[in-house]
Structure 1
Amino acid sequence: MTQVVSTTPGLFPLPDWAKDELSDLKGHQKTDLISGDESAEVADAYDRARREVLDVQTDAGLDRVVEGQLRWDDMIAHPLAVADSVDTRGIVRYYDNNNFYREPVVTGDLEATGDVAAELDAAAEHVDSGLQAVLPGPYSLADLATDEHYGDEAAFLDAVAEFLADEARQFPDVETLFLLEPSLVENAPGDGADERASEAIDRVANAVDADVVAHTYWGAIEEKVYAHLMDADVDAIGFDLIADHEQTVYNVQEYGTKESVALGLVDGQNTLVETPETIRERIDWFADQTAGDYDTVYATANTELFYLPVNKFEAKLSALADAAELEEVQA
């Protein structure tokens, strides 16, 4: 019998009132906001917005609750963007869409800031159980950054992995950690680099006492990259069934997968709200196609959710939570 756990990969849209208030406080649009050194008024606005999105998740009935990452104006590049020895320079397109982030340029030795841990500490004060952490995966974070210090791709990836691991070691108790790794799909590592990417994920995963999901999206993983990812010491690999379900199923049929899986079942970039029944049918279909007797299926959105209007975002959370409550999957 498979347990279905409803969750998300985080990075939520700001509540509408918070967008207006923060724009007034900072004097320009959210895409240009400078994260990190915030005034008391800005910090208070983010605190109130965090409590609101925590309540939204709890009221929806999600099994895992994330902090929301509302301060991550640079998307998953955020942990580097607020770090010392990192310059944030020109605006860069975020993968192949109409969102942008400031390019983090590493100019010195990386050291953890405690920024993400502090967000989780704040969330933990309002969540009784089921807290889930979110971090960029080390390969994706290194891919989004520019190295002007380490001078070697392997050394840079190693440094980014250690930076994230040190950050994760400061976390409060969490039940799950989602490592977001879209670059494994969007800019797949070549020979040698694919093995190093797996080892880097290992380092971060081993820094926490929690179930770890390496969540990939915006397509299916190339076969060789997937085979190496299977070597990573994670509890589950996340698959984007919205963007490419056929190649994903082939990879699992050919190479197997972990005892648990995370499935991107609702579209994080489309306002059409999936029904709980549709979500559950997609879980059943994947289990049938892969003959999987999974311990846990993490039912989630395929991508981050900041692309969505707030009302559609909230509706998709409720659909995921309701899907997990439907009749249990028979593997």
Structure 2
Amino acid sequence: MTQVVATTPGLFPLPDWAKDELADLKGHQKSDLVSGDEGPEVEAAYDSAREEVIAGQRDAGLDRVVEGQLRWDDMLAHPLAVHDNVDTRGIVRYYDNNNFYREPVVEGDLSADGGDVAAELGAAADLVDDGLQAVLPGPYSLADLATDDHYGDEAAFLDAVADFLVEEVREFPEVETLFLLEPSLVENPPADGEDERASEAVDAVAEAADADVIAHTYWGAIEEKTYAHLMDAGVDAVGFDLVSDHDQNVYNVQEYGTKDDVALGVVDGQNTLVEAPETIRDRIDWFEQQTNTAYDTVYATANTELFYLPVNKFEDKLDALANAADLEEVEA
């Protein structure tokens, strides 16, 4: 019998009060919000916002709770943007949408620098008894979003980014799951030869985690060869964006198989229309029927990060995901 686990890929929208308060504290300087050198008032605002979004996930009834990544103003580039050997330069477009981030330019070794993400997770762990989920950019996507001004070789740079994430993961508190977000596997697929290295980089990060690891891809479907290589990585599940391209994702699974567990992007993280729990369940059931498989675990999630949404719609979508998982339990 399939277990449906309601979760999210994180990167939540800041509560409205926090947006206003942080803008005021930082003098409306967006670039300072994730500088890593924040005063006590700013830290207190983020702490309060973290408590609010964790409580919101608990109230909604999600099975996995994330820290929220509210400080990640540079989105998936954040772990590099706060590194001592990285210079954040001009504003660049975040994939093909109207969001922007500061370009992280790596100018020195990506050695461990204190575990910025691990520290945030530690603060979340104090508020969550069980079901804590970590969120990280996957190594291929993080390398894709960054610029290398130090290593001088794409393969060496990808390895260095993977090693950096491995050290970050080793600093984590106890977590049940880790979502590695890999939209670049879809948006900027690796070339021949690079696809195997990308899979090996994902594998290295997954190997470091004492948790179930999901490599979540979105904004479409992965090219067949890249998907076949990703299946070699030691992750517990691959995530599929059924909102953007359900047919090609199903084809990949039909043709190449997948893990015993699967993550399904069944809620639109960029559209304010709120899906009914029954619609979410129908999408999960449809995927199982099309792939002729009853999975051990289905992670029901939004297809993308959620910072695109107004706070009220974001909260409604959390409720819908949790209620969809409850529907599965009732029907079983």
Q: 1:29: Cα distance to partner?
A: 5.4
Secondary structure, counterpart of 2:161 in structure 1: helix
Secondary structure, counterpart of 1:206 in structure 2: helix
Mapped partners of 1:278, 1:255: distance in 2 = 27
Mapped partners of 1:328, 1:222: distance in 2 = 34
Structure 1 position 13 matched with structure 2 position 13: yes
Query: 1:32–1:43: structure 2 CA closer, same or farther, 3 Å change rule?
Result: closer
Mapped partners of 1:34, 1:188: distance in 2 = 28
Q: 1:292: Cα distance to partner?
A: 1.2
Secondary structure, counterpart of 1:282 in structure 2: helix
Mapped partners of 1:40, 1:330: distance in 2 = 49
Superposition map of 1:83-122 within 5 A = 83-113=83-113, 114-122=115-123
Secondary structure, counterpart of 2:305 in structure 1: coil
Preserved contact between residue 240 and residue 264 of structure 1 (Cα < 8 Å)? yes
Preserved contact between residue 87 and residue 107 of structure 1 (Cα < 8 Å)? yes
TM-score (norm 1): 0.98
Structure 1 position 272 matched with structure 2 position 273: yes
Mapped partners of 1:313, 1:35: distance in 2 = 26
The alignment covers a number of residue pairs equal to: 331
Structure 1 position 66 matched with structure 2 position 66: yes
Counterpart for residue 162 of structure 1: 163
Preserved contact between residue 136 and residue 181 of structure 2 (Cα < 8 Å)? yes
Preserved contact between residue 31 and residue 101 of structure 1 (Cα < 8 Å)? no
Output one character per residue of 1:255-276: Cα deviation in whole Å (capped at 9) or x when no partner: 0000000000000000000000
Q: 1:34: Cα distance to partner?
A: 4.0
Preserved contact between residue 35 and residue 72 of structure 1 (Cα < 8 Å)? no
- What's the Cα RMSD here? 1.3
Mapped partners of 2:166, 2:296: distance in 1 = 26
Structure 1: gaps (5+ residues):
none
Counterpart for residue 144 of structure 2: 143
Q: 1:33: Cα distance to partner?
A: 3.3
Q: 1:32: Cα distance to partner?
A: 6.4
Secondary structure, counterpart of 1:189 in structure 2: coil
Output one character per residue of 1:263-321: Cα deviation in whole Å (capped at 9) or x when no partner: 00000000000000000000000000001121100000000000000000000000000
Preserved contact between residue 4 and residue 296 of structure 1 (Cα < 8 Å)? yes
Preserved contact between residue 3 and residue 329 of structure 1 (Cα < 8 Å)? no
Structure 1 position 228 matched with structure 2 position 212: no
Query: 1:145–1:305: structure 2 CA closer, same or farther, 3 Å change rule?
Result: same
Preserved contact between residue 280 and residue 323 of structure 1 (Cα < 8 Å)? yes
Preserved contact between residue 263 and residue 298 of structure 2 (Cα < 8 Å)? yes
Structure 1 position 198 matched with structure 2 position 199: yes
Mapped partners of 1:257, 1:35: distance in 2 = 39
Structure 2: gaps (5+ residues):
none
Counterpart for residue 3 of structure 2: 3
Q: 1:328: Cα distance to partner?
A: 4.4
Q: Which amino acid aligns with 1:11?
A: L
Identity of aligned residues (%): 82
